[in-house]
Structure 1
Amino acid sequence: MARLLTPRFALLTAADLGYFTAIGIAVYALPLYVTGPLHESEAAAGLAFGAFAVSALLLRPFAGRLADRIGRRPLLVGGAALAALSLALTALATGLPMIIALRLLLGVAEAAFFVAGFAALVDIAPPDRLGEALSLNSLGLYLGLAAGPPLGEVLAQRSFPTAWLTAGALCVAAAVASVFIGETGTPTTTNTKLIHRPAVPPSIALCTSLAAIGGFLAFAALRAQDEGFENTSLPLFLYGATVVVSRVVFAKIPDRLPPLTLGAAALAVIALGMILTALPHTLVAGSVVLGIGVTFSTPAFFAAVFATAAPHQRGAASGTASAFIDIGLGGGPILLGLVANASIPAALVTGGALAAAGCLWTLALRRAH
């Protein structure tokens, strides 16, 4: 069996950990910074928070094509360096327009780093261990997003500039790690397309899973409050902890099952979990079930996506799939939020219905394949 845990794999995972810990700091600090020192409204904080997704979504396909043409390392290093600049300069922001401009710049960085990172991972992972590689590498992302907010709280208590400069320094560390990874792909002069069309069908299935999960992340604390939880963050903690632990314990499973079969099963589990979160007294169980579903959904669908791409098309495939991630995580909460105005349990059930529809779509893809 080919070796997976190589120095390049470790460096890529370390770069992800540094980058996404910085993003986690920003997740915590930005709303407080906008409504505190800048004296803006909660609506302004929401606008600032979501601004990066606009540029990230629009630029991911371009980043994918660029990663195929000039290689992965320039985008990894450049994306991390651009994120460091955006986050560090936030310490100097004195108004909402500058904050929004810096968040849009962070979206450019996100598109470059995220797309190139996935393409590089597929380059360096043994083909027969790609699912395991996706599972283990994603720990950098999940641990970073989990550790970033508590770290941001500690730093912001000292001062907001301390939090922003620390986040910038973590991105600099990610850029340095990316330099030592080296170039993983072979730049091509082939006229690759912005959208890798064969990646679209499995990406649609991935999108349904993330739309459901986005709704859960948005309304889990409110649901816990309605259920009388003293610690309303418990469902979110259980969900995240389940994903992290399960991806370590079951890392080899995605390589032992066909990706679309595993993806359909994962979507069915996510649908069940969403329904459990909506029922009385089963929010804790539902959060754990959701974590189990997400453990397998992302590795399965990314494996299906990259199975459609030749080595010189991996950047385009990554850009296409990650654009659907933005659509799911951004559009899911908006769609389910409309339902939540009437009933949060109804919104969670709607999320389950989206995942169930994705399951049926994936089964149809499997039969066609």
Structure 2
Amino acid sequence: MAPPPRLGLRPNAAQFTLLVVINALVGGMVGQQQTTLPLLAEQVFSLRGYSWVFAYVAAFGVSKAASNYLAGLLSDRYGRKPVLLTGWLFGLPVPLLIMWAPSWEWIIAANILLGLNQGLAWTTTVTMKIDLVGPRQRGLAMGLNEAAGYLAVSLTSLTAGWIAAQHGLRPAPFLLGVAYAVLALVLVAFFVRETRGFVALEAPAPAPARSNAGIIADVTWRHPALSSASVAGMANNLNFGLSWGVFPLLFAGAGLGLREIGLLVALYPLVWGCGQLATGWISDHVGRRPLVVGGMALQALALAVLAWSTVMPGWVAGTMLLGLGSAMVYPALLAVIGDVAAPAWRGRAVGVYRVWRDLGYTAGALLGGVTADTLGLHSAVWAAAGLSALVALLVARRLPETHPGLP
């Protein structure tokens, strides 16, 4: 007879590790296109207006935001595994559409599907890991989850840039995405187990019923901790969306080649991913608030360094500082949601938070595109730096400490 389920990393190590691997594959689906798509826009499709070039990031952000909400709602209602599998079914056509795209509209359509893949799959792996570990190791669990995803973004961006330098912008770099999607579908279909039953271990007494409208209101504006997390998450992903569209063109305009651009684009998520191995654990010991406030302030400084620099050492320093700032913020924000949301409505709370957070991609694309078209690429980065500084001040004023063991 199988042993009864228990909360914690150690008793659930096998399933937790499998979910970490699957989330790495989710991140890799983004990484396959970070270095290449802005260059495809200019060199293959001959696009010149930045707003239209960055439309694929905006489409991705809207699609991912909407599917985040659906992931939370459906995983609470029907279970986590079916939602995770559906997310990967949406992911499978993405690299194929990019490889065969005859026009930029196909690229935008592919990124709508990529947003569905990311929203359903990443949100669900977050919820499943929170289910498995319980409250004591929540920050560590989120750090491991996000580290896997963003390390995969980084390594795949670097690999895709190297492949593109050797074999061209299409189709070779996107074969990575085909392999990731097929492997993920096999792992989810045959090896992942449902985790919704672990909710009863954390909260054996029935929790008061919460309406979807009430949860949306809390996470959007009403609850100081939940709404502050949404604002900070949106600002963080605005910076990520900006980096996705603006950075490759900024560096290419300075005369860098594909290998150098790939390295700089990869450095940001590399530091972000590695840093989360520590920052999630740190948030379990010093609290969530110091990491969120400090991380947003550091991102503002990093963007200022990137906008001011004109040579490789400055860009390296800026991208690494930006990655460290994101590493401080990301797992701490997810832990805030896990701290405050009751297990019975956790999936929906995570989903609504990730709606607002991932609309940051769209905001970054709009801010970057409009500002770059009117004032230039450097001005777009300066604008993001100023916005990040304002958000740091806002969360410093409004975000309370949510760690259950800290005042």
Partner of 1:199: 219
Partner of 2:92: 84
- Structure 2: unaligned runs, 5 residues or longer: 1-6, 201-205, 221-226, 403-407
Which deviates the most, 259-268 or 272-281?
A: 272-281
The 2-side partners of 1:347 and 1:85 are apart by 32
**Offset of residue 263 of structure 1:** 0.6
**Offset of residue 159 of structure 1:** 10
The 3-state SS of whatever aligns with 1:172 is helix
Q: Is the 8 A contact 2:95 2:178 kept in 1?
A: yes
Change in Cα spacing, 1:289 to 1:92, as seen in structure 2 (3 Å) is closer
Partner of 2:399: 366
- Structure 1: unaligned runs, 5 residues or longer: none
Cα shift readout 1:178-227 (whole Å, capped 9, x = no counterpart): 34221112499967516533333121122123323433454445555677
Matched, 1:174 2:184: yes
Change in Cα spacing, 1:40 to 1:132, as seen in structure 2 (3 Å) is same
Cα shift readout 1:161-184 (whole Å, capped 9, x = no counterpart): 666565234213212323422111
Partner of 2:13: 6
Cα shift readout 1:97-126 (whole Å, capped 9, x = no counterpart): 666555434433332212212211211224
Change in Cα spacing, 1:210 to 1:165, as seen in structure 2 (3 Å) is closer
Partner of 1:335: 367
The 3-state SS of whatever aligns with 1:127 is coil
TM-score by length of 1: 0.82
Change in Cα spacing, 1:52 to 1:334, as seen in structure 2 (3 Å) is closer
The 2-side partners of 1:288 and 1:79 are apart by 31
Matched, 1:143 2:151: yes
**Offset of residue 6 of structure 1:** 0.6
Partner of 1:183: 194
Which deviates the most, 279-288 or 74-83?
A: 279-288
Change in Cα spacing, 1:307 to 1:21, as seen in structure 2 (3 Å) is same
Cα shift readout 1:209-253 (whole Å, capped 9, x = no counterpart): 332343345444555567787845554344333223323355521
Percent of residue pairs bearing the same amino acid type: 24
Which deviates the most, 166-175 or 76-85?
A: 166-175
Residue type of the partner of 2:91?
A
Residue type of the partner of 1:361?
L
Q: Is the 8 A contact 1:267 1:293 kept in 2?
A: yes
Matched, 1:115 2:123: yes
Partner of 1:290: 322
Partner of 2:47: 42
Q: Is the 8 A contact 2:28 2:156 kept in 1?
A: yes
TM-score by length of 2: 0.75
| Number of residue pairs aligned between Structure 1 and Structure 2 | 367
**Offset of residue 14 of structure 1:** 0.9
**Offset of residue 91 of structure 1:** 5.7
The 1-side partners of 2:55 and 2:383 are apart by 25
Partner of 1:211: 238
Partner of 1:124: 132
Change in Cα spacing, 1:361 to 1:245, as seen in structure 2 (3 Å) is same
Q: Is the 8 A contact 1:11 1:181 kept in 2?
A: yes
